[in-house]
Structure 1
Amino acid sequence: MNRNTIRLLILLGTLSISGIIAVQAYWVKRAFDLKEQQFRQTVMISLRNVANRISALYKLSNFDNPVSQLSSDYYVVNLRVPLEADVLEHYLKEEFRKQNLNTDFEYGIYDCDTEKIIYGAYITANFEENKSIAKSLPKTDKYINYFGVRFPSKTSFLASKLDIWLISSLITLIVTVFFGYAMFVILRQKRLSEVQRDFVNNMTHEFQTPISTIRIATDVLSQDKIMEQPERLKKYVQIIRQENNRLKIQVETVLNTARLERGKMQLEIQLQELHSLINEVTEGVQAELEDCLKLELKATKPSVYADRTQLVSLIRNLLENAIKYSSKPPCITIKTENIEDAIVFSVSDKGIGIPKESIDKIFKKFYRVPTGNLHNVKGFGLGLSYVNQIVKAHKWQIIVESEVGQGSTFKVIMKQEN
């Protein structure tokens, strides 16, 4: 699946999901508005019935329209006569039960003497009084004697009546999440596919170079005249040995990285002398780098508990990484120093450096720092990932300091306690 196809798929899917969400939101809003209108009508009918029952109690004529809505959840009702709170509460409960208005409400009666609304009570959805809640209700100049009723839980009450719509909204949400996850998986698989392709290409190139060199060397060694040229014979034998060792290291890196990630690598932790291992690794490249490699081994306590093979691999990979990403000739410094109960091993170079946005990614498997259209850096993209796995396996810490164009420093803080 090419990039344009994926983009088209994401675009069409996004438009489809957006359309479904928009339609769903529209109909949920319409359903809520309809329920709100029904709620208002029910409240108006219930309060009008209460007003007419009170009028009948005092032998007054019935009201045509005694109820006024002051806000979405607050209503006032004309009384014409003073009324006791207990009587009003009784009538309100009866009417609300009849109309199935099983939601919290609070009421108050206007007192002409004090010109204030005397708060009545807060009645819960099961029509029981909650005395712990007491609020003030707003006044109006529309009536002389009146009472007010507020429904503080109106929104939640109406939402509870939208069961089917809430279920359909939940299904829409699940579909949206599934779509997002599917797109994430598709993009992730595409990226992994590209990484795998690049890895195979890099691995093929890395293996072909030493194999071709070994084949050429063996062709030379197969000639009869080579026995008469011992120096030349020795040179080609050395080439085969070096290329064979290079192949061995590459294969071991791939296999050991996989083992460490699966947790199947058995570490043989023993006390190691770090300085001797550094000298061992750098011995093979000293002649190649000449004066470009500086060793500042200042640690007074250079011993550390580690797996020898993995520690050597860590040193070699950091050194090779510094060489690969340095200009020619490279300028590399290896340092050691003691801090408290640990030894700090660092490899510094004055190479191309690492962009800030890439520093958090360099330890990911197969990741290569982008270098534009240039592809002159060899490797699998496993070196730093392998180093990170070794550091984690030993419960150490690695720190990266880098600036583009100035170089990079990799510091490994190794605990000296077993």
Structure 2
Amino acid sequence: MKINKLNSIILLGLIAIISILVAQLLWTKEAFTLEQKKLSQKTHIALLEVAKKLYEGTNHELPAQNPVRKIANDYYIVNIDNEFEPDILEFYLKTEFKKMNITTDFEYAMYNCQSDEMIYGNYISLSDKGRAKQSVHFPKHKNLVYYFAIRFPNETSYLFSSMRFWFILSIAIILILLIYVYSIFTLLQQKKYSELQRDFINNMTHEFKTPLSSILIASKYLSEQNPIKEDKKLHTYTNIIINQSHKLNNHIEKILNIAKSDYAPLELKKETVFIVPVIEETIENIQLKYPEASIKIESISDEFQIETDVFHFSNLVYNLLDNAIKYCNEKPEITIGITTENSTLKLTFIDNGIGISRKNISFIFDKFYRAQNEKSNEVNGFGLGLYYVKEICNLHNWKIKVENNLTNGITITLSIPYKK
């Protein structure tokens, strides 16, 4: 994925989540306003009913003008224009608030026309929580004689508690946004480290190639000189230099191929080939390196054909055989089985090596992974062989499975789609 495409996806995702968060906050604000209006309407209706009840049994009639006035969000006054008793007022307030399902605490005060001041009535706790003793000032209002005032000291917290769902949802969206930002930051960091690693490997291997080529050319020229040919020890040492240089060159090539495949996927040139001849040719090549190894093919037919990239398939087989031989304490014996099962060709590599511990089996196809065992210090490598095998299988849409044998060694099975 190109960096500009990745940045576009990240930016669009970030804009989408921020938009959802802003919309959620706006909805929460709107919901708070609606809850506030709802409480105000319920309080207005309850106080109007209280005023009506205070007029019952008297010679006065309820005035045509609405007696309930909202002074502030949490403060109301009710003009009765008639004498009333504090105990009766408190009873009616409790009753009507209960009917309207108003469960927040409230306090009330009444105007005393004789003393020309507001007389504090009581603090009524309708919630489960108790109250702390407090002194509240109720202001006087002009042009009113018989009236009382109501205050809701905990209105804000009451409204917030009734909107728990909205706040939980908002917090969840904020957490999702934070997780998204953290994930993107981690992704970009990993991408940066991956690019640095790839650039380092490319530079390192290219820098190695030049002196290594010079060493190979000089060593081959040196080995052809008569004094070297005549001295057995010098000839042996020269061959060691050449062989080890070739081995190092193979490792460098392998690293370069893997680094290249990370940047741009390998391109397969598929063709239909007979599988047995390709494997036989690969066996001949590896036995030049390991003449002591015993490798045989068990197949019910030599006519099995698969669609594959011959070059990469040969490398895949070579890597599997090379691993099986290197990780063996005795004479390497490898059996390559070719069978069919329904529409699948099963290609199995059975060896008599040291095997793999169960806890390490799931990691053997990871890049640069080398399981720690008794052969780790003896076997040279970078942990790229099986990673390459897995990559080639993925590109072909083949399945690969590794199992320990009952006695010793492992069995690697490739499942290849097959058409007769």
Structure-1 separation of matches of 2:376 and 2:367:
20
Which letter maps to 1:365? K
Structure-2 separation of matches of 1:51 and 1:352:
91
State the match for 2:53 in structure 1: 55
State the match for 1:273 in structure 2: 274
Contact 1:354–1:408, Cα closer than 8 Å, also in 2: yes
TM alignment of 1:6-405, pairs within 5 A? 45-46=43-44, 48-56=46-54, 58-59=56-57, 63-66=89-92, 67=94, 157-159=162-164, 174-175=177-178, 178-179=181-182, 182=185, 214=216, 217-218=219-220, 220-221=222-223, 223-226=225-228, 246=247, 249-263=250-264, 265-286=266-287, 289=290, 292-300=293-301, 301-371=303-373, 375-402=377-404
| 1:317 shift after superposition | 0.9
Once the two structures are superposed, what CA deviation does each residue of 1:356-392 show, in whole Å capped at 9, x if it has no partner?
A: 4443333232222345995443212221121122112
Once the two structures are superposed, what CA deviation does each residue of 1:102-154 show, in whole Å capped at 9, x if it has no partner?
A: xxxxxxxxxxxxxxxxxxxxxxxxxxxxxxxxxxxxxxxxxxxxxxxxxxx98
Contact 2:353–2:408, Cα closer than 8 Å, also in 1: yes
| 1:314 shift after superposition | 0.6
* Residues 213 and 44 of structure 1, relative CA distance in 2, 3 Å threshold: same
Output the aligned Cα RMSD. Answer: 5.5
| 1:255 shift after superposition | 3.8
Q: TM-score, normalised by structure 1?
A: 0.53
SS in 2 for 1:63: helix
Structure-1 separation of matches of 2:300 and 2:290:
24
SS in 2 for 1:313: helix
Structure-1 separation of matches of 2:366 and 2:192:
16
* Residues 262 and 190 of structure 1, relative CA distance in 2, 3 Å threshold: closer
Q: What residue ranges of structure 2 are gaps of 5+ in the alignment?
A: 1-32, 59-83, 105-157
State the match for 1:411 in structure 2: 413
| 1:311 shift after superposition | 0.9
* Residues 241 and 224 of structure 1, relative CA distance in 2, 3 Å threshold: closer
SS in 1 for 2:272: strand
Contact 1:346–1:410, Cα closer than 8 Å, also in 2: yes
Contact 1:397–1:412, Cα closer than 8 Å, also in 2: yes
| 1:304 shift after superposition | 1.7
Which letter maps to 1:65? F
Structure-1 separation of matches of 2:355 and 2:210:
29
Which letter maps to 1:267? L
* Residues 207 and 319 of structure 1, relative CA distance in 2, 3 Å threshold: farther
* Residues 161 and 192 of structure 1, relative CA distance in 2, 3 Å threshold: closer
Which letter maps to 1:271? T
SS in 2 for 1:295: strand
SS in 2 for 1:64: helix
Contact 1:296–1:333, Cα closer than 8 Å, also in 2: yes
Structure-2 separation of matches of 1:239 and 1:183:
47
Q: TM-score, normalised by structure 2?
A: 0.52
* Residues 290 and 247 of structure 1, relative CA distance in 2, 3 Å threshold: closer
Structure-2 separation of matches of 1:214 and 1:330:
30
* Residues 178 and 221 of structure 1, relative CA distance in 2, 3 Å threshold: same
SS in 1 for 2:227: helix
Structure-1 separation of matches of 2:255 and 2:262:
11
Q: What residue ranges of structure 1 are gaps of 5+ in the alignment?
A: 1-34, 77-152
Once the two structures are superposed, what CA deviation does each residue of 1:48-104 show, in whole Å capped at 9, x if it has no partner?
A: 415414415744765313426889x6769xxxxxxxxxxxxxxxxxxxxxxxxxxxx
SS in 1 for 2:414: strand
Which letter maps to 2:298? L
State the match for 2:126 in structure 1: none
* Residues 237 and 316 of structure 1, relative CA distance in 2, 3 Å threshold: farther
Structure-2 separation of matches of 1:156 and 1:57:
35
Contact 1:337–1:343, Cα closer than 8 Å, also in 2: yes
Tell me the number of residue pairs that the alignment of Structure 1 and Structure 2 aligns.
Answer: 304
Structure-1 separation of matches of 2:286 and 2:177:
58
SS in 1 for 2:340: strand
| 1:42 shift after superposition | 6.3
* Residues 242 and 269 of structure 1, relative CA distance in 2, 3 Å threshold: farther
Contact 2:212–2:249, Cα closer than 8 Å, also in 1: no
SS in 2 for 1:65: helix
Structure-2 separation of matches of 1:404 and 1:43:
80
State the match for 1:7 in structure 2: none
Which letter maps to 1:225? P
Which letter maps to 1:52? V
| 1:158 shift after superposition | 2.7
Once the two structures are superposed, what CA deviation does each residue of 1:258-314 show, in whole Å capped at 9, x if it has no partner?
A: 444455533222222222222222224436655653413214133222111111101
Contact 1:346–1:409, Cα closer than 8 Å, also in 2: yes
Contact 1:352–1:404, Cα closer than 8 Å, also in 2: no
| 1:209 shift after superposition | 13
